[in-house]
Amino acid sequence: MAHHPVLHDPDLFRRIFEACALSSSYASTLLSVALCCRLWRHSALDILWRDLDSVSPLLNLLGSVEVVDGVYHPHRDISIDEWNSLEPYATRVRTLALDEHIIHPSLYTRMVELAQGKPLLPLLRALKWEMPLSQNIAGVLLFASSSIHEVCIFDRRRTPSPSFDKTLSVFLSGLSARAPYIRTLHSCVKMSSSLSMIPGLRSLQTLVIDDVDFFDPSTFFHRVVDLPNLSSLTVCVDGLRLTEPIHRVLLPFLVTLKLKGDGERTTRALETFTSPALTELTLYRASGPGVQCRRFSEVATQRFGLSLRKVSIFWDIMALPTDVTHDRTFHLFEPLLSISTITAFSITMASRLDYPGLSLSEDECHLVASSWPKLEHITIAYPGRNCAPQVTFGSLVSFALLCPSLKRLGLSFDTSRLPGINEVPELGHKLEFLSTDSELELGDLTRMVDLLHRIFANVKVIYAGRSHIAGVRASWSRVNAELRTLRR
């Protein structure tokens, strides 16, 4: 029977099957497709086996293996022919979450013997390894190949053990030999002496370390220097010892830096880096008095003012301010206003205290807009208690007038006081998204729609608040519906 030419286009069917993979029952769907038509078989199997969240589908292909109490054991010897039968499926795997704890050591030993030094998954791109308490690194490295570009190491049980770091050292050492082209490494387990293995990953471009033992601060920072291609670094510095001297390090190609930890330590770490190409800086889950956040902004401006383009700050004020003027949100990031080339800025000020000083004023918003004319994205959020917005609709007009490239604006403003229609110019600004978390009820819904449409021709409003006031979220939904009608 003659087939329509479209049925012989593998790329077309690959796209269709990729769409199937988005559903929760994709495995059974793709399996049915692979069984019902030889023309579709290869494309369907490619998608079915591409991403594995467990090694069990591969082990289930081995008839000589049985599961006892959730662990795979060999109940008879695995033959070479049986092992080779894995190849058509193993070569299709691109990402794997290796749950090593489900593999019995005796099975691991036999698998390593049968592999004869060859990787089981020769075309693997990303490996996610859940560290067990065992130290069978030879078995883990069975899944490593020269094609791997990304590795993530984690411990779901979060039970740190002194042996973990030693195991991690052996793993990273073997990884550098078997997978020399790794570009991304994310370690969710605590690293100490294992840091000495990182320079062996010479192709590393992105490094994320969630927990570091800074037994010697210089050890970490000087290891990072030995990565010639590093462009993105994320590190938690909670363990940094403030009394230890740290020499500055040069990272000439670092573009993105993300620091986690308390305010004083993140600032100390920031002072350590010399990175002339740094364009994106993130301070995540930092905490402390406002003066420390101000100091962080000063250091960022002094050291990276010529290159910074994007800054994101999440700060939790942990103590009541002694000076309301100097602990206002605006004061905390004010030094950054001297960097006129900023294109994206986000600051979230959280407080579990009754502190109304987090909100910006109208004049402060105008100064922000005038200082950063190249803004494309800005979010100023303060989801603290007792913090009603002080800015009015006029601040939206300021951003529209002074920031022509703005695409996203997140700002809580007083929705109960709206200007007259004739008081607002018709701008037709190209803002795409306006996000607000104000818990104030809309005073005049119709006027809000008309005003927004007057300055932002194509805006969509996203309500990001957690208001329990009946009707607030529903009112913003109605605003969006009316704006869509006006755009037609």
Q: What is the mean pLDDT of the chain?
A: 84
What CA–CA distance (Å, rounded) separates 296 from 152? 30
Phi, psi of 403 (to 5 degrees): -125, 80
Name the least confident of 14-18, 49-53, 61-65, 171-175: 14-18
Mean pLDDT of 10-17: 67
Residues 65-81 pLDDT 10s: 999 998 999 988 999 99
Query: Residue 291: what pLDDT?
Result: 85
Spatial CB neighbours of 209, under 8 Å, sequence gap ≥ 6: 187, 191, 234, 235, 236
pLDDT of 219 above 80? no
What CA–CA distance (Å, rounded) separates 367 from 331? 12
Highest average pLDDT, of 317-326, 372-381, 456-465, comes from 372-381
Percent of the chain exceeding pLDDT 70 equals 82
Element (H, E) at 302: helix 290-304
Query: Residue 477: what pLDDT?
Result: 87
Element (H, E) at 258: strand 256-260
Element (H, E) at 410: strand 408-411
The CATH number fitting domain 53-211, selected from 1.10.10, 3.80.10, 1.10.3470, 3.90.25: 3.80.10
Query: Residue 338: what pLDDT?
Result: 96
Name the least confident of 119-123, 167-171, 226-230, 238-242: 238-242
Kindly list the distances between the CA atom of residue 83 and the CA atoms of 54, 62, 64, 76, 453, in Å, as whole numbers in the listed order: 18, 7, 10, 13, 65
Percent of the chain exceeding pLDDT 90 equals 45
pLDDT of 363 above 80? yes
Query: Residue 454: what pLDDT?
Result: 93
Residues 341-350 pLDDT 10s: 999 999 988 7
Query: Residue 22: what pLDDT?
Result: 59
